[in-house]
């Protein structure tokens, strides 16, 4: 049985579902991310776990016990807020000690504990400062230390890094992951930054409009998206709309694509074929490999992204994006005609609901 278990959780605001039929198992000691666009219900779900929001229906079990009737201050669930929410009237040490004081921990033990967690977040020497004397990144570390000091059963983080700049964000997410695995603390991490979710999670929950779209390990979510939403929300994917034709061919408006076996589909079924830009090889000349797709187009845009360069290629009126690395391709120029080649395995076929 999972450690934290949400079952058929529903939450409505004014009759509109913010979270709909949400069921999820979270293993003890794992880090699970909620990922999705703004307004998809991530915060609402997190707040229901914390106890700040009531469920309209469903259950939440922690370690086998129903926690829905338990008030937030007795759930033993720690939370890190987007705005840090440090207590401005207390020093860093007092902030971190607060939860332990509420637990009536003996003084000497509190001191030892606070020193420990401050060391964990590498901010021992700020103990006597007040929150407003710290940088944003430091404040968020203290918020993390404060939540960890009481050794909660579950740690919840709601976009903890979104108020920080890119560099600090990358460092801190690494720290969070390091501390999380060191303590083996069950963690739910809310973010709308896919890179963040993919890089630190054991499991990613992709949400859209209050519904779970897919749950899986980061690689799984990226390589084998279940839905068109996941495929386009995580990373970039070219979409070719068309109809199945034969065992392994999809006829689109402007191209015909070879795909893996289509035995799961009816003939003439409307489908969408998804192809990730990094799976497309760009060639000046057609060097057809057996069974590969090979489509002709003209370069319309070239965008430099550092490690890769992204090409926007016009293929019979449809824009197809392909990534090239400087190392393994010749330079490409605007309006150049070239060939885009990719194997059938690079094509993911999904039914289009009409």
Question: Which residues would be at the binding site for other proteins (CB under 8 A)?
Answer: 50-52, 71-74, 76-79, 81, 83, 85-89, 91, 98-99, 102-103, 128-130, 133, 146-147, 150
Asked if residue 288 lies in contact with residue 294, where contact means CB atoms within 8 angstroms, the answer is yes
- Helix (DSSP H) and strand (DSSP E) numbers for the chain: 8, 20
Closest CB to Mg ion among 152 and 160? 160
**43 near Mg ion, judged by CB under 5 A:** yes
Closest CB to other proteins among 97 and 274? 97
By CB neighbour count within 10 A (0-12 exposed, 13-18 middle, 19+ buried), where does 149 fall? buried
Residue 82 Cβ, how far from ligand ATP at the closest point, in Å? 8
Closest CB to other proteins among 64 and 71? 71
**Rounded Cα distance, 324 and 279, in Å:** 10
Residue 125 Cβ, how far from other proteins at the closest point, in Å? 11
Residue 210 Cβ, how far from Mg ion at the closest point, in Å? 13
The CA radius of gyration of the chain, in Å to the nearest whole number, is 25
Residues 168-187 that bind Mg ion (CB under 5 A): none
Structure tokens at 257: 């694509």
Give the x-and-dash track for 318-337 against ligand ATP (CB under 6 A). --------------------
By CB neighbour count within 10 A (0-12 exposed, 13-18 middle, 19+ buried), where does 293 fall? buried
Furthest C-alpha separation in the chain: 76
**33 near ligand ATP, judged by CB under 6 A:** no
**43 near ligand ATP, judged by CB under 6 A:** yes
Give every CB contact of residue 25 below 8 A, 6+ residues apart in sequence. Answer: 2, 4, 5, 6
**Rounded Cα distance, 215 and 189, in Å:** 14
Q: Choose among ligand ATP, Mg ion, other proteins, none what residue 146 binds, the Cβ cut-off being 5 to 8 Å by kind.
A: other proteins
Q: Is 125 left (phi over 0), alpha (psi -120 to 50) or beta?
A: alpha
**Rounded Cα distance, 122 and 141, in Å:** 9
Asked if residue 314 lies in contact with residue 230, where contact means CB atoms within 8 angstroms, the answer is no
Q: Tokens 């934290």 label which residue?
A: 4
Residues 181-220 that bind ligand ATP (CB under 6 A): 192
Residue 43 Cβ, how far from Mg ion at the closest point, in Å? 3
Among 9, 42, 99, 200, binds ligand ATP (CB under 6 A): 42
Residue 211 Cβ, how far from Mg ion at the closest point, in Å? 16
Please state the separation of Cα 166 from the chain's center in Å: 16
Closest CB to ligand ATP among 83 and 303? 83
Closest CB to other proteins among 147 and 274? 147
Asked if residue 198 lies in contact with residue 191, where contact means CB atoms within 8 angstroms, the answer is no
Q: Choose among ligand ATP, Mg ion, other proteins, none what residue 44 binds, the Cβ cut-off being 5 to 8 Å by kind.
A: ligand ATP
**Rounded Cα distance, 345 and 225, in Å:** 14
Closest CB to ligand ATP among 233 and 342? 233
Closest CB to other proteins among 112 and 128? 128
Residues 8-27 that bind ligand ATP (CB under 6 A): 13, 18
Q: Choose among ligand ATP, other proteins, Mg ion, none what residue 83 binds, the Cβ cut-off being 5 to 8 Å by kind.
A: other proteins
Residue 189 Cβ, how far from ligand ATP at the closest point, in Å? 13
Kindly list the residues in this chain that would bind ligand ATP in the complex (CB under 6 A). 13, 18, 36, 38-44, 192
Kindly list the residues in this chain that would bind Mg ion in the complex (CB under 5 A). 43
């Amino acid at each position: 049985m999972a450690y934290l278990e949400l079952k058929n959780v529903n939450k409505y605001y004014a009759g509109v579902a913010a979270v709909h039929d949400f069921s999820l198992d979270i293993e003890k000691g794992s880090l699970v991310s909620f990922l999705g666009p703004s307004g998809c219900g991530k915060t609402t779900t997190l707040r229901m776990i914390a106890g700040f929001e009531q469920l309209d229906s469903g259950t939440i079990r922690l370690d086998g016990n129903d926690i829905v009737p338990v008030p937030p201050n007795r759930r033993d669930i720690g939370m890190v807020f987007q705005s840090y929410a440090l207590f401005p009237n207390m020093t860093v040490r007092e902030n971190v000690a607060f939860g332990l004081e509420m637990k009536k921990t003996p003084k000497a033990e509190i001191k030892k504990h606070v020193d420990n967690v401050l060391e964990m977040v590498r901010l021992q020497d700020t103990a006597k400062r007040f929150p407003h004397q710290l940088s944003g990144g430091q404040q968020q570390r203290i918020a993390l230390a404060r939540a960890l000091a009481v050794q909660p059963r579950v740690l919840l983080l709601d976009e903890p890094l979104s108020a920080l700049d890119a560099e600090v964000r990358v460092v801190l997410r690494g720290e969070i992951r390091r501390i999380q695995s060191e303590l083996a603390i069950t963690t739910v991490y809310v973010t709308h930054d896919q890179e963040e979710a993919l890089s630190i999670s054991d499991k990613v929950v992709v949400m859209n409009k209050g519904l779970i779209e897919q749950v899986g390990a980061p690689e799984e979510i990226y390589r084998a998206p279940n839905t068109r939403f996941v495929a386009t929300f995580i990373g970039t994917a070219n979409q070719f709309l068309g109809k199945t034709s034969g065992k392994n061919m999809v006829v689109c408006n402007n191209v015909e694509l070879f795909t893996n076996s289509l035995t799961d589909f009816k003939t003439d079924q409307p489908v969408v074929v998804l192809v990730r830009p990094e799976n497309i090889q760009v060639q000046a000349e057609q060097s057809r490999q057996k069974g590969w797709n090979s489509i002709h187009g003209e370069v319309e845009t070239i965008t430099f992204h550092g490690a890769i360069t992204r090409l926007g290629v016009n293929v019979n009126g449809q824009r197809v994006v392909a990534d090239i690395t400087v190392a393994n391709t010749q330079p490409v120029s605007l309006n150049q005609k070239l060939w885009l080649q990719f194997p059938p395995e690079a094509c993911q076929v999904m039914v289009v609901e009409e």
